[in-house]
Structure formats: structure tokens, C-alpha cells
Structure 1
């Protein structure tokens, strides 16, 4: 019970620091957003450090501090990686920085012709840019997830999503990304981000996501 109480205290301290630090709530909106991402990494690292310390019977507060430092470094690297990707990629490609990962979303209408898993030549340069970026930041694993709308059978959509994820992964590997860093996943029509009742919504659901997950160097 004592160890559990200390764990909660350490976690709360790290989280409170992230929420109340004056540097986080002052300055421009852009500065606040950039600082938030780094702080999120620190919070995540602190929670991980606390958990590790509890599991190994080491000092919980020290574990939280060390973990927060590692997490802040990861968050800072993600910010840099995100900024570099935004400079390189076409405007139709979106990038989300959650603080612990980057999600590069490529609309399938740009990547593929209808019902095809052959990557469009017009997107080859963008995928090559992603590959170069991943090589520059090697301390991460990469998930390539294919998604479809609900047009056609679920079985066909599942197969198509897998084929498209594999095609994008192949392009990343051709660009020099190591095979062992990449995992491909087909989600079919199971994870829509918009309604499939409209053509606009279907277009949003047809996508490939490249998820960059940092690992400790």
C-alpha cells in the first residue's frame, strides 16, 4: 500500500508541474503549443519512470525525474522531426504530433487510383522525403496503417487496406528505412474518422497513416 501511495504522489507531482509551469501558460499561442508537446513528453516519461521504479523497488521520485527528462528529450525530437517533415511534404498530407508520436496521414485518393494498391508516382517524392526523415531520426519504430471507406465488401476492403499499407512500407524501405523498423497493418473499414454517409466523409476515411513511435536510443 505504501508503494502504491508513493507512486500516485510522484505521478501527480509530474503531471502538476506540466500543467502549472508558468512557461506553459505565457507567450504566444505558437510558443505555448510547442512547449506543450515537449512537456507532454516529459509527463509521459515521468509516468514511465515512476512505473519502472515501482516495479524495480528503486526510488520513485528519482525514477519519475529521470523518466521525465527522457520524455522531454523525446518530445523535443518529435517537435524537430515534425517541423522538418512539414517543410518537405505536400500540403495535402497532414501531420499530427500527439507528444509521444507523430502521425503522418496520406489520403488514399492522392496515393492510389481507385481500387488499386500501386503508389502514385506523384507521391513518390513525398514518401522518399518521409524515408529520409526516418533515417535522420533512427530511434523509432514505424507503423503503416491502411484504412478504407465502407464501399464494397468488408473482406475486400480489409485486403485492399493491407495491400496499400504494404505498398507504402515498400516505398519507405526502398528509401532506406530498415525492414525491422516497420510494421504494416490493414484496418479495412473498421476505423473511420468521418461518416461514410457522404462522399466527403468517405474520402477522409480512405487514408494511409504512418505512425512514428519513438524508442529510447
Structure 2
């Protein structure tokens, strides 16, 4: 039995679903299908290397491909489901849900996350959105969170660094209040180092006052 045949049989019944890339708008194969394919290849290769004769090796290849497909598709499938749930929850909220690689999600408000200049207090207008984010995170507990704060360029570098750390921690604290396990999430601040927009206009500075939430596999 060839590796190709073993993989084809193992993947029969696996749903090769598609998703739309949030950045390019192009349709792409989801992570579960990609992971299942890679797992099937690895499993079939190992299977073919075992057994006393061609018939036995073929049987082992089929078993290995099926096992590898199931394992390989697991994490990708989990992230596909979580991504779909977040997109549904956050429709028309202003939050951009981006897929970064196969096993990472990035949540970013299109116009910054409701902070007044020089403040780390969350604007009440963002509470409802963050409650929606927290609901999905609680439903999908097998992920870790890195919450990153950013500022505009107004003020001294040291002040902006401290402010960005406080903003990230404000979001982390709110999510924890809504039921997200504290041990899943860490907060970091980057000051004004990574602007998305120009700091030369009021609108641009508002864009740069933001917090981004990275959703990653548990290590």
C-alpha cells in the first residue's frame, strides 16, 4: 500500500472545511484539515517502516495514517471552532479577529480599545464587547492569552511604557472578572513602539491606544 493511498483512506470522512482569511479575503483550507494531512503523512510513513511483509506494512500504514490524522487535526480543529465562535460573537463589534499561522488568533479593535489619552481606565462602551470575548474564552479553556498594551506617542517614553502595561492589565483584569482563569493570561506593555496608524493626527493617536489579545495553545 502506498503512502498516498493510506492517507486518502484515512482522510475519508474528514471534513476539509474552508475559511476566509481575515486579512486577504481569500478562501483557505482550515487548520484542522492541514493538521490532519500532516499527521496522516507522518503516521503512514512510520507504519510503512514496520511489519514483516508488504501486506503487514500496508496494514500498519493505514492504521498509522488514521491515528496521525486524528492527532494532527486536533489542535487545528479546536482553533477553527474557537475562531468561528469569536467571529459570530463579535460581528459588528468593531473587533477584528485575525488568524495568525495555524494555531494563533489575534483580537484587535479596529479603532483602538476605548482608552482616553493618558488613561488606563476602560471606557464603559467596550465592556459589552469584552464580556462577549470572555464568554468564548471560558467555553474554550485550552488556550493561553497574551494581552498586549500599546499607546500613542504623546508624552515621555517611560510614561507610555508604564501606561501600556497598565492598559494591558486593565483588560486582563476585566476578563478575569468575567470568569477567565487568571492563570491562562499574562499582560505586557510595549509603549509607543508598535503604532498601527500615524501619530500625527488625533484619529491616528486614538487608533494606537489599543490592547491586542493573542490566543495561543496551552504549553
Separation of aligned partners in 2, 1:67 and 1:119? 45
Distance 1:72 1:205, change over 3 A: farther
Q: Which runs of 5+ in 2 are unaligned?
A: 1-15, 47-60
Q: Could you tell me which residue of structure 2 aligns to residue 167 of structure 1?
A: 170
Distance 1:183 1:82, change over 3 A: same
Larger Rg over CA atoms = 2
1:33 alignment partner, one of 27, 36, 59: 27
SS in structure 1 at match of 2:186: strand
Q: Report the TM-score when normalising by structure 1.
A: 0.68
Of Structure 1 and Structure 2, which has the larger fraction of its residues in helix? 1
Count of residues in correspondence between the two structures? 180
Q: How does 1:192-211 map to 2 (within 5 A)?
A: 192-211=195-214
Q: Could you tell me which residue of structure 2 aligns to residue 94 of structure 1?
A: 96
The CA deviation at 1:209 is 0.6
Q: Spell out structure 1 runs of 4+ moving beyond 6 A.
A: 27-30, 61-68
The CA deviation at 1:149 is 2.1
Separation of aligned partners in 1, 2:78 and 2:19? 21
Q: Report the TM-score when normalising by structure 2.
A: 0.67
Separation of aligned partners in 1, 2:202 and 2:143? 35
- Provide the alpha-carbon RMSD of the alignment: 3.5
C-alpha contact 1:107 1:207 (8 A) present in aligned 2: no
Deviations 1:135-163 (CA, angstroms, capped at 9, x unpaired): 11010111110011222211111111000
Q: Could you tell me which residue of structure 2 aligns to residue 79 of structure 1?
A: 80
Q: Which runs of 5+ in 1 are unaligned?
A: 1-22, 54-60
Moved more, 128-137 or 111-120: 111-120
Q: Could you tell me which residue of structure 2 aligns to residue 152 of structure 1?
A: 155
